[in-house]
Amino acid sequence: MARVISTVLLLISTHMCLSAHVFTQDAPKFCKGLECPEFTTIQSSEGYEERQYSESKWVSTEIMSMSYDSASSQGFERLFNYIEGNNEQKQKIAMTAPVATRVIPGQGPACESNFTVSFFIPAEHSANPPAPSDSDVFFTTIPAHRAYVKSFGGFASQDDWIQAGAELGRALDALHSYDSSYYYTAGYDSPFTIFSRHNEVWFIAN
């Protein structure tokens, strides 16, 4: 009898562990019904979350600029045209979340930053996405990685992103090292969404 009970307990606890690792198969609420890259949460603390992402495929464009806002709107437009059919198959592709922008600060000769704006390619197209017609649009693969993530709400300005990044940096100690030469901003909402907007800064763990 005791053995049966302990087996049942073991099954229950195994089941609880498993469900903690697979809950993201149901997309998180902040994806708001759009397809978004899968991750598992390794740990959540006060100031940040640690996630494990699988490899993911994106359609991207690169812009050198002094301004986050102008780079992101220019990038968004190119990528939006791609998913609206500006591609070799004239195929429409569903909008996904987030719009992820890799920022390499101050890389250019006049201290411009290097922005790579990306849309996540839905699973349906990831094996064989239609080739972009715009030569400034290309595919990228983000390898499997761990990320430190700081979330915040509202309409994010360049200053908000920088502030969130600074807070994330302060929250991480020497045990949580990351590549400090770049970061990602991830915006989950269209400009027309007013409430419950969700933004994230990602640092890629070493």
Ligand X SMILES: *[C@@H]1O[C@H](CO)[C@@H](O)[C@H](O)[C@H]1NC(C)=O
Interface contacts to ligand X, rule CB under 6 A:
62, 64, 104, 107, 114
Residue with the closest Cβ to ligand X?
Answer: 114
Q: Running DSSP on this structure, what letter comes out for residue 33? A: T
Q: Running DSSP on this structure, what letter comes out for residue 131? A: P
User: Do residues 205 and 176 make contact, with C-beta atoms less than 8 angstroms apart?
Assistant: yes
Give least dist CB 97 to ligand X, A. Answer: 23
Give least dist CB 96 to ligand X, A. Answer: 22
- Residue number, 104 or 171, with CB nearest to ligand X: 104
Nearby residues of 182 by Cβ (< 8 Å), 6 or more positions away: 102, 103, 104, 105, 204
Give least dist CB 73 to ligand X, A. Answer: 19
Q: Running DSSP on this structure, what letter comes out for residue 154? A: S
Cα–Cα distance list, 93 to 77, 82, 158, 206 (Å): 14, 8, 28, 33
Nearby residues of 23 by Cβ (< 8 Å), 6 or more positions away: none
Give least dist CB 21 to ligand X, A. Answer: 32
